[in-house]
Amino acid sequence: MICRVMAGVVGVILVSCCNDPYQINPPITDQFYSPVDTPEKLMHNFQLAYETHDLNEYVKCLDDEFQFVLLEENWFDYNLDGFVDRTWDKDIEMAFTANMFNSPRAEIIELELLGTGNTQWYGDTTCATRMPVRCFDLKVYYMDGEEPEGFRAQGDATFLCKPDENGEYRIWQWTDLSEV
């Protein structure tokens, strides 16, 4: 009798672990997730959009209030309003990304996101905003004869991800910590 009770308790625990909405590692797939109901699925879609040069899927990853937080060395008046920008918005992000995806010098884009951290963001009293921290390795290159030519960026980044009105996660803020 005790064995059956213990087996039942272990079964309930295992089932509840499988239903964790913030599961650390969703199944690996080469398809885009829909719905994007966890930050991990969002990070997967973000990475896959880069690698497939899919601007439509990339824009789905970004919240309407998206901000990319710039390193001080990259502060500039990107929107030409006369003020130095410390962040840029979704429109500027989409313009830069479209240029990269469509560039003949970006035949191949490889983005590796490493890490499984996913904590609640302290600035959200509803506790819905999550903060995945990832190490990234971005390679953008083209083939020049037999040798690849291009650039590589590596570092750390935090992503503030919040669910929209349908419960689908979007990147609200992306901070590059590479040289901070």
Tens of pLDDT, residue by residue over 33-49, are 999 999 999 999 999 99
Order of strands, sheet of 147-163, starting from the edge strand that comes earlier in the sequence: 87-89, 62-69, 169-176, 147-163, 130-144, 108-120
Among candidates 140, 158, 163, 164, which has minimal Cα distance to 69? 158
Report how far residue 10's alpha carbon sits from residue 16's, in angstroms, rounded to the nearest whole number.
Answer: 10
pLDDT of residue 178 exceeding 90: no
What are the domain boundaries of the chain? 29-176
pLDDT of residue 73 exceeding 70: yes
Report how far residue 98's alpha carbon sits from residue 112's, in angstroms, rounded to the nearest whole number.
Answer: 20
Top-confidence residue, 4 or 137: 137
Query: Mean pLDDT of all residues in the chain?
Result: 84
DSSP secondary structure of 23-71 = -S-PPP-SS--SS--SHHHHHHHHHHHHHHT-HHHHHHTEEEEEEEEPP
Strand partners, 88: 68
Tens of pLDDT, residue by residue over 50-63, are 999 999 999 999 99
Nearby residues of 100 by Cβ (< 8 Å), 6 or more positions away: 106, 109, 140
Return the pLDDT at 145: 81
Return the pLDDT at 147: 84
Task: Determine phi and psi for 133, rounding to 5 degrees.
Answer: -110, 130
Model pTM above 0.75: yes
- Rounded to an integer, the average pLDDT of 132-160 is 91
Report how far residue 14's alpha carbon sits from residue 86's, in angstroms, rounded to the nearest whole number.
Answer: 46
CATH of 29-176, one of 3.40.50.261, 3.10.450.50, 3.30.750.24, 3.10.20.30: 3.10.450.50
Q: How confident is the model at residue 72 (pLDDT cuts 50, 70, 90)?
A: confident
pLDDT of residue 5 exceeding 60: no
